Amino acid sequence: MALAEVDLRLVAGEFVSLLGPSGCGKSTVLRLLAGLEKPSGGSVTVATGESVGCVFQSPTLMPWASVAQNVALPLRISQRRSGVSTNDIAPRVREQLIDVALADFADARPSQLSGGMRMRVAVARALVTQPSLLLMDEPFAALDEITRQRLADDLLGQWQRRGFTVLFVTHNVYEAVYLSQRVLVMSARPGRISADIRIDAPSRGAQFRRSAPYFASCTELFMALEQAMAGDSAA
């Protein structure tokens, strides 16, 4: 059993990280919310009218298709249901590529891109449908630290401009504090939410990463993780 009595509620427009050790069920929570798995007990409810976008650790791009074609894919798949006309697809894709700073690479193939650029394509593909809920499963884990920080800032910029809800899975305390308004700490498998910690920061950026409140929140999260693991050991 991957999960045990997980009670998770997201408020519209908030940025929440799900933090925990490897194998605690973080990805399972995401897959349940995305509808990729069914719960063996309990229920998963997504508000009526909510649309969901997903970004996983691997960009999973079509190698034979261009960047623009990869980003357009969900629009073409859901064209009849979403009501997006064929004439609207190219402008939507172009706008999204501008948002992730890849407009000049629209005709490139994934093999011609760096790892960070491929992840930008994956984020653009998830956001091109204008979802109200974005689910992200350790999307920056395989990237170097500088690229990781740049993509984090880009993600925060899009979230602030567009107001969608984010559930971001990570096992990186520093990443969780930097990105999130709220961090849910999970215990080891079978996972459950053992702490719900709010991160109060008026703004993010290099200055926040060097601030006392940032390091205080990191310390609080490290302690919450240790307590979660200690509780499991005692059990």
| Residue 235 pLDDT greater than 70, yes or no | no
- State the average pLDDT over residues 87-100: 92
Q: What share of the chain is helix, strand, coil (3-state, %, to 5)?
A: 45, 15, 40
Q: CA–CA separation, 164 vs 141, rounded Å?
A: 22
Q: What is the mean pLDDT of the chain?
A: 86
pLDDT at 2: 58
Confidence category of residue 234, pLDDT binned at 50, 70, 90: very low
Cβ burial of 154 (10 Å; 0-12, 13-18, 19+) is middle
196 or 230, which is more confident?
196
Q: What is the pLDDT of residues 94-114, one digit of tens each?
A: 999 999 999 999 999 999 999
Look up residue 7 and give its two tokens. 């009670």
User: Which CATH number, 2.60.40.10, 2.120.10.30, 3.40.50.300, 3.40.50.11720, labels domain 1-50+132-235?
Assistant: 3.40.50.300
CB 177 within 8 A of CB 221: yes
**Which residue did the predictor score with more confidence, 144 or 23?**
144
Least confident of 25-29, 95-99, 161-165: 25-29
| Burial degree of 173 (CB within 10 A; 0-12, 13-18, 19+) | buried
Per domain, the residue ranges of the chain are 1-50+132-235, 63-131
